[in-house]
Structure 1
Amino acid sequence: MKIIQTSGKRKRAIARATVKPGTGVIRINGVPVPKLTPQLAKMKIEELLIIVHDEKLKTVNIDVKVSGGGSLGQIDAARIALSRAITQFLKKKTVVKNIKAYDRSMLSGDSRQVERKKWGGRKARARFQKSYR
């Protein structure tokens, strides 16, 4: 079996997923999915596995390494990388259809970016206060 590598991005977080032959363990930054904290992070990853639900996934190990961004941004990036890795491994159109029907952002991500800061203020839209007296 060939090793599959995919990536996913969300805000400033970047995740890389690697699929290798193994025993069906999925790890995110070295932590198995059942032991992930917070609970919301665990649920976001498990919902993808519930949608896919294929016996072939028990023959591979998937390691996801995430860096940058906040905790939920990292989980979303890991979920995107994981879903892309699973679809490449299974090579079934029905899996892609199921994932897209449930939540399109699992495969494509979010294209929005932070608006750049402009002169005359502290942030993109905020302006410095003006004094008349």
Structure 2
Amino acid sequence: MIGRLHHTIVDCPDPGVLAEFYAALLGLPVTYRSADFFVVSKDDTTSGLGFQLAPGHRPPRWPDPAAPQQIHFDVMVDDLDEAATAVLALGATELSGADHVYADPAGHPFCLINRPSWAAPVNPPPGAGAG
């Protein structure tokens, strides 16, 4: 295992409005708020849905490829450099313009992020937690 899914990110013109919509739809709270990023999840130490400000956002028109889906994955990892090497070996492509952003073999973007301090290690050392 290279990483663990952290958030699924949805690009949008107003992350607060969209987060409140999904919070109501799913019966979950908004657990993180900033000027351009909101999270809906069970609690503030659980991965969930992220809503990210996308200036100039063009909404998708499924199944119109001229306005494709705009969702990507954040994958938490213990070591960014080690994970980068591993995902490239799996067939990912590094995307320009941002650090630790890649495309899967079909072109879907995903980000590698440092594991938050509240999350358990992705790959605990042998013998850790045994007892």
What is the TM-score with the length of structure 2 in the denominator?
0.26
More helix by share: 1
What is the TM-score with the length of structure 1 in the denominator?
0.26
Larger relative contact order (Cα-Cα within 8 Å, sequence gap ≥ 6): 1
CA radius of gyration, larger in? 1
More strand by share: 2
